[in-house]
């Protein structure tokens, strides 16, 4: 029996040994085959791993790929697009105007919900129904303001229908055009924190709760990148959008800079299986655009224009603020009434650059300049105003009479050119032009206007700015109307340009919208102001024109005199134009387009601005009112006060400074116009100098000498000196104001600081 058992155990052991040997051989064979396959793929099918064509696999990413022709392959190389982060847009102080923002598409996975709850033995049907009711109530509470038409019953029916049918359905799709419906990370976090969606993990032995995990796998939150304007409608049309077939503004014009470059990640599709490949091209993020727009100025312009347009019920209006010296555009507002019955205004159209409008009497400045450049004096002649009959000479030697009237109330009167300009007399300004150029010399008049650049196309960062559409057809009425800005169109910004040239001592600047481009770390490109015309008019013309523009607001007969304000001195010209009705092919004398273009402060202009309001019953005084309030708001702002008090200087070399606290270095020297600050390590204080280019600030550690056992505090501002002493355990007493001149250590740990003003 014992021998038999021994033989039986020997047979079993032998069988186990054979099985083990077979298993080991099988593993070795499998390893050899794997190594062989790896070697084969590495040397003979390298194209597959690298994402290129091979004998068995076709590259579907190739431009030569034809999906209708290449249908016999089981293996394809495809690619996922890796999208770059779009560049952001900032104002002139680095504040975000357009940025990237992630919102969420919310979907309900009925199949997953059924797997987690309905098909589970842990929950009864009543408990599942109760959960759906609670989920519906919480969704309705969370999103009732964004989706007011959706009731609690709507959500309950939605969830119930999809879990019973095991369907996957989107509850909140992303509508990029409607920010009010966006689902943010705050919403998703709130949903994930719902107590009944938390699952508690317990210790199997003790029953102690180890952790709590979120059980929201049946709710799918798909991230969707969108562009956001933190300040709503402010400058929205100028900032623009670039999405599908809707492209306009900076987002469209600077798309090549903002968009970046797409990358790709190739993968192998073999018998519907997806295998990642090594071939990858990383995306290049878009660059950031730093504009010339100023948030405070933009806010003042937007708010005042919105208020006035609603008050007047105008169809639309626009306003532009330009920095006089540089041509930088500091604010652009384009507001349009949404519909006739709704006096709500939004930035849905671009008027400042593209609107085809008759300028009206603001164009009289161009006529005045043409007159002054031609006539030797502006004081020897007087001209008819209000009512006059012009006698146009004929070839036969006779005359053709043209009766013109500015007003039905007054009779004919005579006035000096200055009075003509103050009163904004159409007849008077036309008489001045006819005197200077002749009644049959329309081409001579337009040739003089051409010298002011009015017929040149101006290339800007926001696209081309078209010239004035004046037509010289030889007709007297056309010649007459052109003199006071009727019968032709000109972009609003073109009018602002030549007004700005008068404010800028004759130098015409191209509009500048973008100051520089960055990639988040470095400044890649900087744009400098462009001079279109170094001297638009002579010094004599410039001096007289400035005096005439002053008189419109400050003169006895000025059309803007009602709004003169010594605390906010400005100058400019009013404009009122009847509206052309395309339906009747005639002017509607009951509706007007009104405007005012000028600069402030009038004696030392910092800004030039134009206000244009379309389709109102009132005349140009309402535009002057808007101009004055915006100018006053800008002049009262801290931003303007700083610029008003600091004169512009060329950058000067810094050979070394007194102690400067580290936290103050960047704000101080960036404001002074230096590009970069390079730090060398030090604990608290620095001495500053510039490099050889004078543009880069070098910041070096400042070793403070010891005096009375304390660091040398002389030259420090009081707050810095107090901070240094406090860290050393000293109390301080201050005498005077300014920086530390000297100091004394008194009894105990008291240090008395003697201060004096900085000279």
Mean predicted confidence (pLDDT) in 12-34: 78
Q: Which pLDDT score is estimated for 206? A: 67
Choose the final residue of a domain: 237, 253, 269.
253
Residue ranges making up the domain that contains 687: 660-756
As a whole number of angstroms, the distance between CA 759 and CA 756 comes to: 9
Q: Is residue 275 part of a domain?
A: no
Provide the pLDDT for residue 283. 86
Is residue 594 located within the same domain as residue 492? yes
248 and 156 share a domain? Answer: yes
Q: What is the pTM of this model?
A: 0.74
Whether a cis peptide bond, with omega within 30° of 0, leads into 334 is no
pLDDT band at 279 (very low <50, low <70, confident <90, very high): confident
Confidence check: pLDDT of 683 > 60: no
Measured CA to CA in angstroms, residue 560 lies from 423, 553, 563, 620, 701 at distances of 10, 5, 6, 8, 58
Based on the fold, state whether residues 496 and 635 are members of the same structural domain. yes
* pLDDT on residue 655: 52
If asked whether residues 733 and 615 sit together in one domain, one would say: no
Total domains in the chain come to 3
> Looking at the structure, do residues 209 and 245 belong to the same domain, yes or no?
yes
CA 224: distance to chain centroid?
21
Of residues 751 and 448, more confidently modeled: 448
- Domain identity same for 679 and 536: no
Same domain for 344 and 466: yes
pLDDT bucket at 641, cuts 50 / 70 / 90: very low
Q: Are residues 634 and 668 in the same domain?
A: no
Question: Residue 218 sits in a domain of what CATH number?
Answer: 3.90.1310
Rounded-to-10 torsion of CA 515, 517, 522, 526:
-40
Work out the average pLDDT over 376-397: 88
Domain check: are 385 and 411 in the same one? yes
Between 34-48, 148-162, 415-429, 470-484, the lowest mean confidence (pLDDT) is in: 34-48
Asked if the structure places residue 684 within a domain, the reply is yes
Position 409 scores a pLDDT of: 58
Residue 365: inside a domain: yes
Q: Quick check: is 9 in a domain?
A: no
Q: What's the pLDDT score for residue 448? A: 95
Query: Which one of 642, 671, 697 terminates a domain?
Result: 642
Q: Which of 197-211, 292-306, 392-406, 745-759 is the most confident on average?
A: 292-306
Burial of 96 (0-12, 13-18, 19+ CB in 10 A): middle
Average pLDDT, the chain: 82
pLDDT of residue 358: 92
Residue 501 lies in a domain: yes
| pLDDT score, position 701 | 58
Does 289 have pLDDT greater than 80? yes
pLDDT surpassing 80 at residue 639 = no
Q: What is the dihedral of CA 214, 220, 222, 223, to 10 degrees?
A: -20
Determine how many CB atoms are found less than 10 A away from the CB of residue 623.
Answer: 30
Mean pLDDT of 617-623: 92
Task: Label residue 646 by pLDDT band (50, 70, 90).
Answer: very low
The answer, yes or no, to whether residue 110 has pLDDT greater than 80, is: yes
613 confidence band (pLDDT: 50, 70, 90): very high
Structural domain ending residue among the three candidates 642, 671, 701: 642
* Residue pLDDT, tens place only, 625-635: 999 999 999 98
Per the structure block, which two tokens stand in for 238?
A: 């100028």
- Of the ranges 554-568, 604-618, 693-707, 731-745, which one carries the lowest mean pLDDT score? 693-707
| 143 falls within a domain | yes
Q: What is the pLDDT of residue 642?
A: 47
Residue 233 lies in a domain: yes
Examine the pLDDT at 118 and tell me if it is beyond 90: no
- Residue 632 and residue 735 in one domain: no
In this prediction, residue 373 carries a pLDDT of 95
Other Cβ atoms closer than 10 A to 608: 28
pLDDT > 90: percent of the chain: 41
Question: Residues 527, 621: one domain?
Answer: yes
* CA proximity to 98, closest of 223, 184, 226, 262: 226
Are 239 and 290 a contacting pair, CB within 8 Å? no
Q: Are residues 315 and 410 in the same domain?
A: yes
pLDDT tens digits, 488-511: 999 999 999 999 999 999 999 999
39 lies in some domain? no
């Amino acid at each position: 029996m014992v021998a038999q058992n021994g033989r039986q155990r020997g047979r079993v052991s032998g069988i186990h040994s054979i099985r083990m040997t077979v298993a080991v051989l099988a593993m070795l064979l499998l390893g050899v085959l794997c190594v062989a396959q790896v070697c084969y793929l590495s040397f003979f099918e390298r194209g597959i791993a690298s994402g290129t064509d091979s004998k068995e696999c076709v590259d579907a990413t190739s431009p030569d790929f034809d999906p209708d022709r290449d249908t016999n392959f089981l293996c394809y190389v495809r690619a996922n697009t890796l999208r770059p982060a779009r560049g952001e847009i900032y104002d002139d102080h680095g504040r975000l105007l357009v940025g990237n923002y992630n919102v969420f598409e919310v979907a309900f996975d009925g199949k997953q919900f059924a797997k987690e709850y309905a098909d589970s033995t842990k929950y009864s049907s009543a408990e599942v129904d109760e959960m759906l009711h609670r989920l519906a109530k919480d969704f309705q509470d969370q999103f009732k303001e964004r989706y007011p038409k959706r009731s609690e019953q709507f959500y309950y029916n939605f969830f119930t229908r999809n879990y019973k049918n095991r369907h996957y359905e989107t509850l909140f799709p992303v509508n990029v055009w409607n920010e009010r419906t966006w689902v943010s990370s705050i919403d998703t976090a709130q949903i994930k924190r719902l107590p009944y969606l938390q699952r508690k993990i317990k210790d199997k032995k003790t029953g102690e709760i180890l952790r709590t995990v979120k059980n929201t796998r049946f709710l799918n939150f798909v991230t969707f990148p969108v562009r956001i304007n933190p300040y709503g409608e402010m400058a929205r049309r100028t900032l623009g959008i670039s999405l599908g077939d809707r492209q306009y503004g900076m987002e469209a014009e600077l798309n090549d800079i903002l968009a970046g470059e797409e990358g790709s990640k190739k993968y192998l599709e073999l018998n519907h299986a997806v295998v990642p490949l090594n071939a990858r091209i990383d995306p290049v993020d878009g660059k950031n655009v730093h504009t010339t727009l100023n948030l405070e100025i933009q806010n003042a312009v937007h708010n005042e224009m919105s208020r006035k347009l609603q008050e007047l019920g105008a169809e639309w209006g626009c306003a532009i603020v330009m920095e006089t010296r540089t041509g930088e555009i500091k604010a652009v507002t384009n507001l349009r009434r949404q519909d006739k019955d709704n006096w709500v205004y939004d930035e849905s159209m671009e008027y400042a650059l593209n609107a085809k409008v008759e300028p009206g009497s603001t164009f009289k400045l161009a006529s005045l300049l043409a007159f002054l450049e031609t006539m030797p004096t502006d004081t020897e002649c007087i001209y008819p105003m209000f009512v006059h009959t012009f006698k146009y000479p004929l070839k036969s030697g006779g005359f053709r009479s043209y009766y013109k009237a500015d007003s039905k109330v007054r009779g004919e009167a005579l006035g000096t050119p200055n009075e003509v300009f103050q009163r904004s007399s159409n007849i008077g300004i036309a008489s001045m032009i006819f005197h200077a150029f002749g009644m049959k010399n329309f081409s001579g008049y337009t040739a003089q206007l051409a010298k002011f650049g009015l017929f040149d196309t101006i290339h800007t960062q926001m696209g081309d700015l078209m010239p004035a559409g004046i037509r010289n057809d030889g007709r007297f009425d056309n010649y007459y109307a052109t003199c006071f800005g009727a019968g032709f169109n000109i972009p609003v910004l073109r009018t602002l340009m030549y007004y700005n040239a008068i404010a800028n001592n004759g130098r015409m600047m191209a509009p500048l919208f973008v100051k520089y481009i960055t990639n988040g770390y470095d400044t890649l490109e900087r744009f400098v102001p462009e001079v279109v015309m170094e001297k638009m008019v002579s010094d004599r013309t410039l001096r007289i024109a400035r005096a005439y523009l002053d008189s419109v607001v400050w003169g006895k007969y000025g059309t803007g005199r009602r709004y003169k304000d010594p605390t906010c001195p400005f100058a400019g010209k009013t404009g009122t134009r009847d509206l052309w009705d395309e339906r009747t092919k005639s002017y509607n004398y009951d509706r007007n387009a009104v405007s005012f273009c000028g600069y402030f402060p009038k004696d030392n202009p910092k800004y030039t601005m134009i206000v244009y309001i379309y389709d109102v019953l009132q005349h140009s005084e309402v535009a002057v009112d808007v101009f004055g309030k915006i100018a006053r708001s800008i002049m009262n702002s801290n931003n303007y006060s700083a610029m008003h008090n600091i004169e512009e200087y060329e950058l000067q070399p810094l050979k070394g400074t007194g102690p400067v606290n580290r936290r103050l270095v960047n704000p101080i020297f960036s404001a002074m116009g230096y590009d970069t600050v390079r730090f060398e390590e030090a604990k608290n204080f620095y001495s500053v100098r510039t490099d050889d280019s004078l543009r880069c600030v070098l910041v070096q550690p400042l070793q403070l000498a010891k005096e009375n056992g304390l660091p040398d505090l002389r030259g420090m501002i009081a707050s810095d000196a107090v901070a240094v002493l406090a860290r050393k355990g000293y109390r301080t007493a201050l005498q005077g104001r300014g920086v530390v001149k000297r100091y004394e250590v008194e009894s105990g740990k008291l240090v008395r600081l003697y201060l004096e003003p900085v000279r």
